[in-house]
């Protein structure tokens, strides 16, 4: 259960008060967005997280009727800069004082008067501005890349400003896979919502299903069975292991180290096989649901899982030796794409990206989800902030996750895995689900209206924070190292675009 | 380097020994309909749980016909888990790709449907002979992208079948599309197709690419590939199994039933 306190703030104080609250010791910024309150009024809300006691607070202030602006906090909390731009695109509001105002998610392909969350009673929207940051000076040239990429990855546009072969600036334009996930989540019948939640970023199906389930369970004030919490932990860690293997293999492939790519490719296959054994499918779709698990896990499956785990561990150790002890690999990854700890912190990086730049933050140590924070996690950190450090954090996390899975499976509680959940939600309440997904802190933030309908469903994917890290890390590097740097972050486009 | 080679030598053969193996027992695949009598409106569980409206009951309420559209199915498993009569069960087959959209709709009672396109071994038929170059355009499903990429790994090793992924549409035979094709990807997708030379085929991989899946009918206009390009093969699943993706590429380019010989048009609707 994550306690959420409401903190109303006067519009005039917003700009000073929110940064002050976010900077208190033990607190961090979570997300910022708008919701519609009683009578159609718009409320600007900032979610702040207390790491000391695993609780949260929501600072809120009204947008004046007919208004088309709010005060930006980005200068004081740079981590909020994309969230404020997203508000611009979706609600037609302008963040006054935002240092780099432009559209983020909706651009030329969208009619200029389309603001998905705005209604005519809100008054005239503030127009969108689609543009790229241009870099002036002698010899500066631009390289546009995308939205379709050369490899088998999601679409997005990268605009490089280069001096010779050195990147001076990278402007990232996403939004190409905006599907309207948040609006859909508030519109579908509650029993179908979990499938939409999983599709927010379908390579993180367990994490999204879990954040969704935790938030709903908090709204109802109910707790799922112990066994479900334990199996959810195993499911989440399997997802982490499979994807970290995939990332390490992709890094090997990007530097032309075919043996590493092949070895990690098959390990990823083995880890997906665990997911299949546990839940029935490789990506564990439809398995974690509000109230527990959609179906039971039998003893035979658990035995098979424990046995395959013991076979995987030595294979994983071998694979890591092949990759990390290879001088060629070290040479290619070290010193490339450095993200300094101070910048990682200011821009609110999360997950392995943050931990490779010295941050000790891992949501599993602070916020209630599955068996966490009761189950102790070895937090993997590095300080170099380069591609090698990001790989190293993943390596450490693979082994700590495998240990966690073994530990949980060895002491799996007996009993059922599902409690019955009510068909409706309590009125006028807010709850958040926070999960340490394999890419980092994932937030699902749900508010209900007076009728108990979901009035706002906001998702803050870890990638939404971390894309800025890619733009920072690539500066001063060779253009041709960009694919490698990008791969060392491996962020989600669909999770960001929603 | 020596250690690496030693490790490599220790790794055994990873590639699946059988092509298109059935999924193991207990594994949830796409749903399949059996002839077990359904309880009808009195039950209706599957219709109620299905997040995309893929299942319909019709005909005699006492003894209804069940139909299930795999083109809408996001493989959530809820109908399979809830059906008390085993009218809906998990399909272990990984040969789930089809040539025509209608073939994705299953009926509990035998109806006159087109025969499912058979894959004629690995014989080289059609204009592509034994080898095809595939250009992947993702429009927003990273799970399917991962499974498409997985077809090239040591386990599935699609290059054995003459399938290669290429970085440009200029030298591609196949346009493989994943994701629901929301508003901002519609133009880039069509221009990628236009950059390809004839003969060329389009494959919609994953339920989102086929119909938009859970995103269908929303404000982002994300209803799959069909409103924008003619599609030659459909691979259902959310995400589809890598073997099913290989199956889709092969039937689109090698099956007798494929219509890859004539140049496709836009905007089939
Ligand atoms: S498995 Fe497919 S058909 Fe069955 S409920 Fe889920 S989406 Fe609907
Ligand atoms: S769940 Fe099974 S028995 Fe019930 S309506 Fe659906 S097919 Fe018929």
**What ipTM goes with this model?**
0.88
Radius of gyration of chain B (CA): 19
Within an 8 Å CB–CB cutoff, is residue B160 touching chain A?
no
Within an 8 Å CB–CB cutoff, is residue B31 touching chain A?
no
Residue A469 belongs to a domain: no
Cα–Cα distance between A219 and A194 in angstroms, integer? 15
CB of B32 shorter than 6 A to ligand 2: no
Residue A157 belongs to a domain: no
Residue A195 belongs to a domain: yes
pLDDT level of residue B243 (50, 70, 90 thresholds): very high
Q: Which residues of A touch B52 (CB under 8 A)?
A: 195
Within an 8 Å CB–CB cutoff, is residue A124 touching chain B?
no
Number of domains in chain A: 2
Please indicate whether, in this complex, the C-beta atoms of A148 and B75 are within 8 angstroms of each other.
Answer: no
The per-residue pLDDT for A94 is 92
Residue A166 belongs to a domain: no
Residue written as tokens 């994943």? B178
pLDDT of residue B245 exceeding 50: yes
Q: Is the pTM of this model over 0.90?
A: yes
Cα–Cα distance between B174 and B254 in angstroms, integer? 12
- Residues of chain A with pLDDT below 70 are none
A301 and A410 part of one domain? yes
pLDDT of residue B17 exceeding 90: no
A124 and A188 part of one domain? no
Count CB pairs under 8 A between chains A and B: 183
> Which residues have a Cβ under 8 Å from the Cβ of B14 and sit 6 or more positions away?
A262, A266, A269, B154, B155
The per-residue pLDDT for B262 is 47
Residue A308 belongs to a domain: yes
Closest Cα of chain B to A15: distance in Å? 33
Q: How far is the CA of A306 from the centre of ligand 1 (A)?
A: 30
A76 and A193 part of one domain? no
Instruction: Please tell me the CATH code under which domain B126-259 is placed.
Output: 3.40.50.12280
Q: What six digits make up the tokens of B168?
A: 């440009």
The per-residue pLDDT for B116 is 53
Ligand closest to the CA atom of residue B211 = 1
Nearest atom, ligand 2, residue B64 CA = 8
A62 and A204 part of one domain? no
Q: Which residues of A touch B188 (CB under 8 A)?
A: 147-148, 155, 176
Residue A172 belongs to a domain: no
The DSSP-derived string for A10-43 is: -GGGHHHHHHHHHTSTTEEEEEEEEEE-GGG-EE
Residue where a domain stops, chosen among A131, A158, A191: A131
The per-residue pLDDT for A299 is 84
The per-residue pLDDT for B268 is 38
CB of B30 shorter than 6 A to ligand 2: no
pLDDT of residue B198 exceeding 90: no
> Which residues have a Cβ under 8 Å from the Cβ of A134 and sit 6 or more positions away?
A142, A161
A115 and A222 part of one domain? no
Closest Cα of chain A to B82: distance in Å? 10
A127 and A189 part of one domain? no
The per-residue pLDDT for B28 is 78
pLDDT level of residue B263 (50, 70, 90 thresholds): very low
- CATH number of residue A47's parent domain: 3.30.460.80
CB of B83 shorter than 6 A to ligand 2: yes
pLDDT level of residue B257 (50, 70, 90 thresholds): low
Please indicate whether, in this complex, the C-beta atoms of A266 and B215 are within 8 angstroms of each other.
Answer: no
A190 and A120 part of one domain? no
Q: What is the DSSP letter of A198?
A: H
Cα–Cα distance between A439 and B107 in angstroms, integer? 41
Domain that holds residue A419: 182-462
Residue A467 belongs to a domain: no
The per-residue pLDDT for B122 is 44
Domain ranges of chain B: 126-259
Closest CA in chain A for residue B51: A192
Mean pLDDT, residues B152-177 taken together:
89
Q: What residues pair up with A135 in beta bridges, in sequence order?
A: none
């Amino acid at each position: 259960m994550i306690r959420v306190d409401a903190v109303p703030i006067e519009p005039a104080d917003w700009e000073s008060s929110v940064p002050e609250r976010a900077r208190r010791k033990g607190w961090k910024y979570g997300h910022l967005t708008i919701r519609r309150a009683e009578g159609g009024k718009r409320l600007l809300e900032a979610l702040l997280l207390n790491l000391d006691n695993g609780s949260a607070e929501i600072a809120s202030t009204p947008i004046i009727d007919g208004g088309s602006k709010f005060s930006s906090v980005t200068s004081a909390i740079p981590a909020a800069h994309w969230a404020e731009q997203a508000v611009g695109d979706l609600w037609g509001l302008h963040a006054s004082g935002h240092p780099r105002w432009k559209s983020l998610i909706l651009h030329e392909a969208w009619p200029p008067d389309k603001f998905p969350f705005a209604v005519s009673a809100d008054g005239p929207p503030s127009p969108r501005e689609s543009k790229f940051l241009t870099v002036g000076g002698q010899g500066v040239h631009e390289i546009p890349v995308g939205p379709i990429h050369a490899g088998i990855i999601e679409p997005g546009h990268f605009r490089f400003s280069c001096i010779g072969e050195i990147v001076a600036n990278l402007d990232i334009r996403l939004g190409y896979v905006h599907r309207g996930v948040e609006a859909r989540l508030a519109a579908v019948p509650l029993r179908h919502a979990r499938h939409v939640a999983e599709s927010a970023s379908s390579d993180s199906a367990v994490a999204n299903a879990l954040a969704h389930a935790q938030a709903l369970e908090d709204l109802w004030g109910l707790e799922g069975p112990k066994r479900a919490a334990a199996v959810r932990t195993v499911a989440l860690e399997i997802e982490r292991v499979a994807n970290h293997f995939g990332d390490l293999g992709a890094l090997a492939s990007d530097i032309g180290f075919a043996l590493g790519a092949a070895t990690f490719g098959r390990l990823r296959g083995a880890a997906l096989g665990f997911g299949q054994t546990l839940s029935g499918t490789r990506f564990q779709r439809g398995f974690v649901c509000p109230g527990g698990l959609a179906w039971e896990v039998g003893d035979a499956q658990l035995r098979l899982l424990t046995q395959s785990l013991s076979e995987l561990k030595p294979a994983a150790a071998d694979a890591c030796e092949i990759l990390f002890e290879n001088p060629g690999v070290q040479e290619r990854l070290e010193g490339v794409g450095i993200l300094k700890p101070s910048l990682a912190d200011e821009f609110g990086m999360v997950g392995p990206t943050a931990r490779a730049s010295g941050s000790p933050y891992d949501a599993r140590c602070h916020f209630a989800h599955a068996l966490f924070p009761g189950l102790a996690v070895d937090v993997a950190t590095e300080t170099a902030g380069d591609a090698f450090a990001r790989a190293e954090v993943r390596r450490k996390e693979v082994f700590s996750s495998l240990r966690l899975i073994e530990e949980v499976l060895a002491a799996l509680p007996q009993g059922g895995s599902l409690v019955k959940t009510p068909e409706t939600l309590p009125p006028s309440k807010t709850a958040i689900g926070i999960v340490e997904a394999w890419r980092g802190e994932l937030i699902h933030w749900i508010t209900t209206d007076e009728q108990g309908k979901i009035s706002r469903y906001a998702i803050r994917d870890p990638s939404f924070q971390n894309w800025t890290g890619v733009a920072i890390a690539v500066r001063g590097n060779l253009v041709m190292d960009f694919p490698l740097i990008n791969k060392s972050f491996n962020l989600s486009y669909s999770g960001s675009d929603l | 380097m020596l250690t690496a080679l030693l490790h490599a030598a220790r790794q055994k053969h990873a590639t699946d020994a059988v092509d298109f193996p059935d999924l193991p027992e207990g594994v949830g695949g796409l749903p399949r309909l059996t002839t077990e009598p359904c309880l009808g409106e009195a039950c209706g569980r599957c219709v109620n749980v299905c997040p995309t409206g893929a299942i319909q009951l019709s005909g005699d309420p006492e003894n209804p016909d069940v139909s299930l559209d795999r083109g809408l199915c996001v493989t959530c498993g809820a109908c399979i888990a809830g059906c008390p009569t085993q009218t809906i069960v998990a399909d272990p087959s990984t040969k789930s790709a089809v040539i025509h959209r209608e073939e994705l709709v299953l009926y509990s009672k035998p109806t006159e449907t087109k025969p499912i396109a058979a894959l004629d071994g690995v014989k080289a038929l059609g204009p592509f002979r034994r080898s095809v170059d595939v250009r992947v355009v993702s429009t927003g499903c990273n799970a399917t992208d991962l499974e498409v990429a997985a077809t090239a790994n040591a386990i599935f090793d699609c290059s054995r079948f003459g399938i290669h992924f290429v970085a440009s549409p200029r030298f591609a035979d196949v346009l493989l599309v994943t994701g629901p094709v929301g508003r901002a990807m519609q133009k880039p997708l069509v221009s990628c197709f236009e950059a390809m030379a004839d003969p060329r085929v389009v494959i919609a991989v994953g339920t989102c690419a086929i119909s938009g899946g859970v995103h269908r009918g929303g404000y982002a206009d994300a209803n799959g590939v069909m409103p924008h390009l003619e599609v030659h093969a459909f691979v259902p699943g959310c995400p589809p199994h890598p073997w099913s993706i290989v199956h889709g590429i092969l039937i689109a380019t090698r099956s007798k039933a494929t219509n890859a010989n004539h140049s496709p048009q836009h905007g089939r609707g």
